[in-house]
Amino acid sequence: MSAHLQDMGDRLVVWNGNAAKKGALTPEFYQTLHDALERAQDPRVRAIILTSEGNFFCAGGDLNVLIERRKLSEDGRRGKVDELHDLVRAMRACPVPIVAAVEGGAAGAGLSLALACDLIVASQEARFTAAYVKAGLVPDAGLTTSLSRLLPRALAMEMCLIGRPIMAIRFAELGAVNRLTAVGQAFEQAMNYVDTMCAGPRGAQRAIRQLVSAAYETPEADQLDAERDAMAHAAGGHEAAEGIAAFLEKRKPDYSA
């Protein structure tokens, strides 16, 4: 099985099971992640964790598959890339945070998918590689957008033009990785991360995710209007009532209701 979905109630775990090929992407993985993103519309779901069953998060596209795609017309190849891009668009539109738990490394489209997540927990020995250029290819799945937002231009250029791997420790220093873990602990720490989120106010968190995601492309005037509307809505809700009361009463808020 190259991918499967684990439903844990308040969280969904998408397992990339293609360990024999270092988590290279498969149609089954695409469908499994799409299924998780659809299930995330359920208000009971608080987060999605994206991880791998092997010791490598995702090596990106299978080069043997890309060899076969060379037989297609350019329009046909464009359609295949759009299948991956539709997946990234669905990730961006997801109402709940997506957490990548990265062991070993993420390369090519695997790096694109990791950076399309909202939070990254990575083994301290994980390597992040924009490997496309080594195969005479160019980045896709939003990688140039993600890298340009996260990294200095010179480093983004170096990663894409040369394909030099960047260690997780360096990525964390640059703010692209949220938490570093010991080898083999990325998934466990990602689960702990989600535990913390699940104790928070789900309505506010969904609104925050939408606001932050939109802020990269929304003009400031429009973003201010969006923040105003979201704040006005949140301030009248039960989560704000509990959160404010807990703060004033110097106790831990209970958002389980």
Chosen domain end from 198, 216, 233: 198
Is there a single domain that holds both residue 219 and residue 162?
Answer: no
Is there a single domain that holds both residue 190 and residue 226?
Answer: no
- % of the chain surpassing 90 pLDDT: 91
Is there a single domain that holds both residue 82 and residue 175?
Answer: yes
**For residue 166, what are the CA distances in angstroms to 100, 209, 232, 251?**
17, 27, 42, 42
Is there a single domain that holds both residue 101 and residue 40?
Answer: yes
Kindly state whether residue 256 falls inside one of the protein's structural domains.
no
C-alpha 126, offset from chain centre = 16
Residues 6+ apart with CB under 8 A from 139: 112, 130, 132, 147, 160
Chosen domain end from 165, 183, 198: 198
Q: Buried b / exposed e across 30-65, counting CB within 10 Å, b at 16+?
A: bebbebbbeebeeeebbbbbbbbbbebbbbbbeeee
Kindly state whether residue 255 falls inside one of the protein's structural domains.
no
List the domain range (segments joined by +) for residue 223. 202-248
**Average pLDDT, integer, range 43-65:** 93
- pLDDT at position 256: 86
Is there a single domain that holds both residue 117 and residue 151?
Answer: yes
Nearest to 91 by CA among 144, 50, 46: 50
Kindly state whether residue 54 falls inside one of the protein's structural domains.
yes
- pLDDT at position 148: 93
Angle (deg, nearest 10), helices 238-248 and 220-235:
80
DSSP 169-194: HHHHHTTS-SEEE-TT-HHHHHHHHH
Q: Domain of 207: which CATH number?
A: 1.10.12
Is there a single domain that holds both residue 124 and residue 23?
Answer: yes
Q: In this model, does residue 1 exceed pLDDT 80?
A: no
Nearest to 161 by CA among 140, 142, 145, 138: 138
Is there a single domain that holds both residue 143 and residue 174?
Answer: yes
Kindly state whether residue 169 falls inside one of the protein's structural domains.
yes
Is there a single domain that holds both residue 240 and residue 123?
Answer: no
Reading phi first (left if > 0) and then psi (alpha if -120 to 50, else beta), residue 106 is in: beta
Kindly state whether residue 136 falls inside one of the protein's structural domains.
yes
- pLDDT at position 257: 72
Nearest to 145 by CA among 98, 88, 95, 199: 88
Question: Average model confidence (pLDDT) for the chain?
Answer: 94
d(CA 92, CA 97): 10
Kindly state whether residue 257 falls inside one of the protein's structural domains.
no
H or E element that contains 246 = helix 238-248
Kindly state whether residue 253 falls inside one of the protein's structural domains.
no
What pTM was computed for the model? 0.94
